[in-house]
C-alpha cells in the first residue's frame, strides 16, 4: 500500500467517530445547522446516512424499510444498523439524481467503480451491453 493511501485511510478512520458525533449532534439541533439523516427519493427509496441502531425501529415501522445498501467501510458500520422497485439508472445517472436531492454528497472514484461493478452485476441493461 502506497504511503499516501495508507495515510488517507488512517486519517479517515481517525476522523470518522468525531465527525459522526458532530453529525449526530447537528441532527439534534434545530435551525440552519440541522441536516436530515435521510431523504425520501420516491415511494420506495430512502437515501441518507447509514442508520444508527436507534433509528432502526422508526425506519422499519414508519418508513417500511426492508433493506439497507451501503458503501461504507467496515469500521464505519460497527455501531450502526445491523440489520422493490428497480431503477435502471447508470451509475452516472444515479449520482446525478442523488446529488440533486442531497447536494452535500460526493462520490469518490473508488465508490464510482464499485457502483459500476454493482450495476454490471444486477442490471439487465448493463448485462446486455457486455
CA distances from 74 to 71, 80, 82, 108, 115 (A): 9, 10, 12, 17, 17
What is the chain's pLDDT, residue by residue, as a tens digit (130 residues)? 677 777 777 888 888 889 888 888 887 877 777 778 888 888 888 888 888 878 888 888 898 887 777 777 767 766 554 433 445 678 888 888 888 887 888 888 888 888 888 788 777 665 565 5
pLDDT at 113: 87
**Residue 26 grid coordinates:** 447537528
pLDDT at 7: 74
pLDDT at 128: 62
Nearest to 105 by CA among 48, 36, 21: 48
Q: Does residue 106 sit in helix, strand or coil?
A: coil
Domains and CATH numbers, the chain: 1-35 (no CATH), 37-128 (3.90.190.10)
**Residue 18 grid coordinates:** 468525531
- Dihedral (CA of 42, 118, 70, 107) sign: negative
Q: Give the contacts of 126 (CB within 8 A, at least 6 positions apart).
A: 90, 119, 120
pLDDT at 81: 46
**Predicted TM-score of the model (pTM):** 0.51
**Residue 128 grid coordinates:** 446486455
Amino acid at each position: 500500500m502506497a504511503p499516501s493511501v495508507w495515510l488517507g485511510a488512517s486519517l479517515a478512520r481517525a476522523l470518522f467517530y468525531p465527525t459522526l458525533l458532530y453529525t449526530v449532534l447537528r441532527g439534534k439541533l434545530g435551525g440552519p445547522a440541522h441536516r436530515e439523516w435521510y431523504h425520501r427519493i420516491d415511494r420506495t427509496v430512502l437515501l441518507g446516512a447509514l442508520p444508527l441502531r436507534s433509528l432502526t425501529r422508526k425506519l422499519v415501522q414508519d418508513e417500511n424499510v426492508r433493506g439497507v445498501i451501503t458503501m461504507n467501510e467496515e469500521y464505519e458500520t460497527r455501531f450502526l444498523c445491523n440489520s422493490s422497485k428497480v431503477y435502471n439508472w447508470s451509475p452516472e445517472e444515479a449520482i446525478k439524481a442523488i446529488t440533486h436531492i442531497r447536494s452535500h454528497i460526493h462520490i469518490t472514484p473508488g465508490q464510482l467503480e464499485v457502483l459500476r461493478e454493482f450495476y454490471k452485476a444486477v442490471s439487465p441493461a448493463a448485462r446486455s451491453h457486455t
